Structure formats: structure tokens, C-alpha cells
Amino acid sequence: MQIIQQSNQEDTDYIRQKVIEYNMSKLPEKLLKPVEKVSFILKNEHESILGGITGTIVYNHLHVDFLWVDESQRGTGYGSNLLHKIEELAKVKKCRLIVLDSFSFQALEFYKKHGYKQFGVLNDYPEGFSQHFFEKRLNDE
């Protein structure tokens, strides 16, 4: 047997699939739903993308992967609208929880303003900054 270093997408996908299979074997039936990718995109009249939010629904919760609004559109409410849209979708999909993270140089106060509670922080990651973890429990609303 040998351990080799490689970056092969097929092998990486195989390892990921094996972890998913193991996790699914341990979870109750009600949580065994397929992983679902979701997104909302903000486009102007020229079809240029000016913002968007993406997420992953798994185990009855939504993980917000990315929220971005072009600098020219920040402060106009589009970020709030995008966040609200994905929260509404999470409710329709019967998610109990939304989880996201943000670096210290990003939008910490924005998420707090929208009812997200910080539950963790990883200091000095990346070096000189920190990564903050937030949650919003939908059954608390």
C-alpha cells in the first residue's frame, strides 16, 4: 500500500462521495434528501451580472456559499434583497437553519443587521484577519 500526493478530480470526487455515503448511513430518514444548489442573480437591463447569492441546502439547513454585489450597487438594498430571497426559499424548503461565514474585511455588520448571530471566529485567518461564522435559526422567527 502507498500514499501518494495528487490532484486528480476523479479521485477527489470518489473520496467526497464515500464521505457522503458514510454520513447518509448514519442519519435518520427525514434528513436523507439530495444536496441542492440554489442561487439568485441580479442582472441589469443589459444582462450584466451585478450581484448574486449562492447556497447549498443539505440536512434541512441552508449554507450561504457566496453573496456578492458589485461595488457600484452597494448601499442600494440589493444585498439585503438577495439575502431575503434566499431566506424565503430556505423557509419554503423547510430549512431550520441558515449558516454562513464572512471575513473580518467583509460584511460582518450587514449580517448582524439581518438577524444573524455569530457563533464562532477563527482568528488570524487569513493572516492578520479573521473568519466569522454566523447562524440564523428560522424556527425562532
* Per-position pLDDT tens, the chain of length 141: 888 887 789 999 999 899 989 988 998 988 888 889 999 999 999 999 999 999 999 989 999 999 999 999 999 999 999 999 999 999 999 999 999 999 999 999 999 999 999 999 999 999 999 999 999 999 865
Question: Is 65 part of any domain?
Answer: yes
Question: Is 24 part of any domain?
Answer: no
Question: Is 17 part of any domain?
Answer: no
Helices (H) and strands (E) counted in the chain, each on its own, are 3, 6
Question: Is 27 part of any domain?
Answer: no
For 66, list phi and psi in degrees, rounded to 5: -145, 140
- Indicate which CATH number applies to the domain containing 38: 3.40.630.30
Print the domain residue range for 58: 33-140
What are the grid coordinates assigned to 70, written together?
458589485
Helix, strand, coil % over all residues of the chain, rounded to 5: 35, 35, 30
Number of structural domains (the chain) is 1
pLDDT at 32: 82
pLDDT at 141: 54
Question: Is 73 part of any domain?
Answer: yes
| Long-range CB contacts for residues 71-78, cutoff 8 Å, separation at least 24 | 73/42, 78/42, 78/50, 78/51
Q: What pTM did the predictor assign?
A: 0.86
Question: Is 61 part of any domain?
Answer: yes
